[in-house]
Amino acid sequence: MALAFRKATVKPSSIPNPSLVTSITSLLETLNPQSPDCEPLKNLSPHLTPSLVIQVIKNVKNPHHALYFFNWASNPEPNHNNYSHTFSCYAAITDVLLSHSLFSTAHSLLRHYNKLSDFLISKFINALGDRGDIRGAIHWFHKAKTFARGSYVFSCNAILGVLVKANRVNLAKAIYDQVVAEAVVKPDVFTYTTMIRGFCKMGMVENARKVFDEMRCEPNAITFNTMIHGLCKNGDMEGAKKVFNRLVGSNSCKPDVVTFSTLIDGYSKKGEFQEALNCLKEMLEQGCRPNVVTYNALIEGLSLKGNVDEAKRMMTRMRLNGLKDNVATNTSILKGFCIVGKSDEAIKHMKEMVSRGMNPDVKAYSVIVNEYCKIRKPKEAVLLLKEMVARGIKPSVSSFNAVFRVLVAEWKLDEVVLLLKQMPQMGCTPKFLSYSIVICGLCKVKGRMQQVEELVGDMLQNGHNSDATMYNCILEGYCEHGDEEMALKTVYDIIDKNFVINKDIFYAFVKELCAKGRVKEVETVFEEMYKKCPVSDINAYRLVLCQLCGKDEATEER
């Protein structure tokens, strides 16, 4: 191993010799970091540079080996070149330790070398945020405020970023407002941009606009693009255009492909295609080349408005400009065909995508599955779901639900039950709506209540509870089936849940029990329902009781 060190010399540049890095890494992996032998490392002393140390730290798999090497290199023997760690070395070892959740170790290391700083504390905050430990991240932010004594902008930006990422924007706003009010830290462009992104993310566009307008430094391209995106997403194209015009007049940055594509997408989604095309023209005039995202925005907008021919022409223009259409491009075309009722064209286009070597994704498949359901071709839809699974694509729950609806509508109940049970094997877990569609469909047919009970059991086992609609369907099913005992049990379940029984189904229930001579039980049910359920028109239910049971005295108003 020592021979390897002698042969591997350091290059004059700051880039470390790869063979030397590999040799050191291999050596470290043979050492016990708890009681290592320093002797093999002594040959390294003349070769130590900050870039070498950083690269070794990043390459070593065991963080304890990295820490041992770092500590040794901080005071190597001999040290003829007077090597010492740079700030970047401390940042590198901190990154490695935090990536392995060794927070206490990293903290102790930085305290030992007296290198704890605002920038390095921000790394703790980000690492804790990545773990979802918001409380821990906030704790370190307050530690930075105490430690850094007025210079904690990195920690401030880190905690705001963590909170925005976690959708805790109101908490981020509270911290931001406090920082601004205290005027100890001067917010920079990253501070403002993070808050703008957070507000836009949550649809709080006016808050974002306020931060943007009150910036005390020049916005950068990311700030402008973030604000424009938020306004476009909110449908405020006039506001987006104003921000764009300010960007055009800026001395620090200019509109880029992201800026123009965002505006074009905003105009397209609002159906303002002339404005979108004008924006595309301006983009070209400024020497900014459109990319696939730019054209996809136009093609999607045209397709969703049913202008499929124009969308296809735009795709041709895109190809002529040297850009290759992707799955998203073609999915928009598929949607366009479906919107204008050209199912055959959509299916044909899907097959062409596959024949061209394109791999349709779950969104593309879902469009065609839904279209097959719309034109009442559930068999083809099911085959497409199976094709997706064979290609390694997990179908969406909404696609299964669309197939369930059409199978129930066509009374293909054995097929719908089988498909529901096959869902987990096809990579998709049934949701409550999936069970509801199938169960309520079965309840409408005599002889299916045993299957209903089995599916309700499966549903409850999977963590889904019945709602008022499903309970009413089940009650109706038992009434149609003539099972008054289960009907009565279901009614009490509904009452216990404080749900309301549908009036028509209540009529069927009362009729069923009265026909069996169980008038007294019907009266008791009504009394319980009267006390517990939030029925808006109780008199209508009382009238049903009077008509079917002929017991006016039992239903007098109280």
Q: Is the Cα torsion angle 469, 472, 478, 480 positive or negative in sign?
A: negative
Q: Exposed/middle/buried for 306, CB within 10 Å: 0-12, 13-18, 19+?
A: middle
Model confidence at 37, in pLDDT bands (50, 70, 90)? low
- A 10 A CB-CB count for 245 gives 11
pLDDT for 40: 75
Half-sphere exposure (Cβ direction) of 285: Cα atoms closer than 13 Å: 6
Which tokens belong to 241?
């255009």
pLDDT for 12: 40
Q: How far is the CA of 468 from the CAs of 192, 462, 475, 502, 521, in angstroms?
A: 47, 19, 10, 9, 22
Tell me the range of 1-10, 76-85, 127-136 where mean pLDDT is highest.
127-136
Backbone angles phi, psi at 516, to 5 degrees: -95, 5
Of 250, 254, 229, nearest to 240 by C-alpha is 229
- Please check the confidence at residue 191 and state whether its pLDDT lies above 80: yes
Q: What is the pLDDT of residues 505-553, one digit of tens each?
A: 888 888 888 887 888 888 888 888 877 777 777 777 778 777 777 655 4
Three-class secondary structure of residue 471 per DSSP: helix
Q: Is 435 left (phi over 0), alpha (psi -120 to 50) or beta?
A: alpha
**Beta strand extents in 442-511 (DSSP E only):** none
pLDDT top residue among 443 and 17: 443
CB of 212 closer than 8 Å to CB of 224: no
Which tokens belong to 91?
């940042």
Rounded to an integer, what distance in angstroms lies between the CA atom of residue 332 and that of residue 511? Answer: 53
Rounded to an integer, what distance in angstroms lies between the CA atom of residue 425 and that of residue 417? Answer: 14
Q: Is the peptide bond before 187 cis (omega within 30 degrees of 0)?
A: no
pLDDT for 6: 37
CB of 384 closer than 8 Å to CB of 417: no
The DSSP call for residue 9 is P
Q: How far is the CA of 3 from the CAs of 9, 44, 263, in angstroms?
A: 11, 11, 62
Q: How far is CA 274 from its chain centroid? A: 33
pLDDT for 552: 54
- Please check the confidence at residue 1 and state whether its pLDDT lies above 60: no
Q: Which pairs count as long-range contacts for 467-471, CB under 8 Å and 24+ apart, including other chains?
A: 467/432, 467/436, 467/499, 468/494, 468/497, 468/499, 468/500, 469/436, 469/440, 470/435, 470/436, 470/439, 470/440, 471/497, 471/499
- Please check the confidence at residue 321 and state whether its pLDDT lies above 50: yes
Q: What is the pLDDT of residues 381-439, one digit of tens each?
A: 999 999 999 999 999 999 999 999 999 999 999 999 999 999 999 999 999 999 999 99
